[in-house]
Amino acid sequence: MTTGLIGRRIKALREKRGLSQERVAEIFGFRDRQTVSAIETGARRVTAEELLLAVESLDAPLDYFTDPFLLAGEGRFSWRQTRVDVERLEACEQSAGRWIGAFRSLAPQVGYETRLMRRALRLTRRARFEDAMAAGERFVTEFDLGEVPAVRLVEVMERELGILVLMMDTERGISGAACRLPELDAVLIARREVIGRRHFDLAHELFHILTWDAMPPRHTEEVMETGGNRAEQLTNNFAAAVLMPAATLARFGSWSDLAEEKLIRRLHTVANELRVTASALRWRLVALDRLKPVVARSLPDAALRNNRPDIAENIPPALFSKPFMEVLGLAIDRGCVSVRGVAGLLELNIEDLVDLFAAHGVQCAIDL
């Protein structure tokens, strides 16, 4: 544990308890609040006696101050969900926070350095929807995502932008989340969503990461394809442009003169090729003036649902991600963490942990 990390956790707990620095100074027996300020900024160490006093007086377990994988007062989450109650969301956030905290703690120890600088989009809430779409198109070009951008989107996020992407099993109703730490960005995706929704969630959370400072997202947001507040509308326009570039859609010809049955069939065919949902494709075509809004609204939602749920691409990806498992594997091999510690962190038994390493093609010496 670093002095700065303990100090940040004391500050987070103080703010959660609604205590002033002066009151904490009284609890610790300090002469003034400047000592508390120095502890919270990491300029002064906390002695063992003071740490025990913090446990007793601030009513927090010792693990709160000493667990290197815990996120306390650091990670800011933005969840994409539908009617999920607060308790279930908090439980999901606690688990996700430990995964992200473990990666942050272990990556430097095994030589896996996080990015020094962040990429950002020059967009604010005052931007036009056309600006967000143009930014999405430029993203596809700059990172050479090709005609089916969904195929390489995770790779670009991980390798080019340094974003930790984790596939997870979530509570029903949770689609994904973006998380911002001082030194790390992460995106969490519900891996059991159909493939098109997973990709849209990825591009959606990518926008939040790239615009976090200019447009800090809300802690929770409802899943919507259209509508919502302006920031969410900008987000969806960006995500649609990333996954469905105008140049790619142009090669499929005209849409406006198709009868309903043929239009639905083509929407499914093109959506499957682009790894998106037919419904998202419908609204992207409206945004590009290639389909009239009245026609789009007339299409039955049920007819555009799930594309082809039986196709191979809809098999859920393995839990978490290869970079994440590489860091954990190296940490085990170098003695930074135990096998049982990793299994407990991921809520797996050791046999399933071995299978997960194999699923990602990661070598790890675990003796069963």
DSSP letters along 111-151, please? T-PPPSS-------TTS-HHHHHHHHHHHHHHTT--SSGGG
Q: Identify the domain boundary among 66, 95, 118.
A: 66
Q: Indicate whether 119 and 26 sit together in one domain.
A: no
pLDDT band for position 230 (cuts 50, 70, 90): confident
Q: For position 326, what pLDDT does the model report?
A: 96
In this prediction the pTM is 0.89
Q: Indicate whether 88 and 229 sit together in one domain.
A: yes
Percentage above 90 pLDDT, the chain: 67
**Residue 366 falls within a domain, yes or no?**
no
pLDDT of 328 above 60? yes
pLDDT of 367 above 80? no
Instruction: Please tell me the total count of domains within the chain.
Output: 4
pLDDT band for position 161 (cuts 50, 70, 90): very high
pLDDT of 300 above 70? yes
CATH assignment at residue 10: 1.10.260.40
The domain in which residue 257 lies consists of 246-314
H helix intervals, 211-289 = 230-243, 246-250, 260-274, 278-287
Alpha carbons 327 and 318: distance in angstroms, whole number: 16
Q: Indicate whether 212 and 276 sit together in one domain.
A: no
Q: Indicate whether 226 and 102 sit together in one domain.
A: yes
Strand 220-222 vs strand 174-180: parallel, antiparallel, or unpaired? unpaired
Q: For position 308, what pLDDT does the model report?
A: 59
Q: For position 16, what pLDDT does the model report?
A: 85
Average pLDDT (293-300) is: 93
Q: Indicate whether 119 and 233 sit together in one domain.
A: yes
Q: Indicate whether 102 and 191 sit together in one domain.
A: yes
Q: Indicate whether 25 and 122 sit together in one domain.
A: no
Q: For position 309, what pLDDT does the model report?
A: 52
Number of H helices, E strands in the chain: 17, 5
pLDDT of 112 above 90? no
Q: Indicate whether 50 and 195 sit together in one domain.
A: no
Closest CA to 181 of 100, 260, 61: 100
Alpha carbons 200 and 284: distance in angstroms, whole number: 12
pLDDT of 239 above 80? yes
Q: Indicate whether 62 and 134 sit together in one domain.
A: no
Alpha carbons 142 and 119: distance in angstroms, whole number: 13
pLDDT of 223 above 90? no
Q: For position 315, what pLDDT does the model report?
A: 85
Phi-psi region of 170 (alpha: psi -120 to 50; beta: other; left: phi over 0): beta
Q: Indicate whether 213 and 237 sit together in one domain.
A: yes
Mean residue pLDDT across the chain: 91
At residue 34, the 3 state secondary structure works out as helix
Q: Indicate whether 132 and 209 sit together in one domain.
A: yes
Alpha carbons 61 and 178: distance in angstroms, whole number: 28
Q: Indicate whether 228 and 278 sit together in one domain.
A: no
Alpha carbons 65 and 5: distance in angstroms, whole number: 8
How do residues 168-222 score in pLDDT, each as one tens digit?
Answer: 998 889 999 999 998 899 999 999 999 999 999 999 999 999 999 999 999 888 8
Q: In this structure, which amino acid lies at residue 260? A: E
pLDDT of 151 above 70? yes
Percentage above 70 pLDDT, the chain: 95
Alpha carbons 230 and 212: distance in angstroms, whole number: 15
Residue 218: partners with Cβ closer than 8 Å, 6 or more residues away: 78
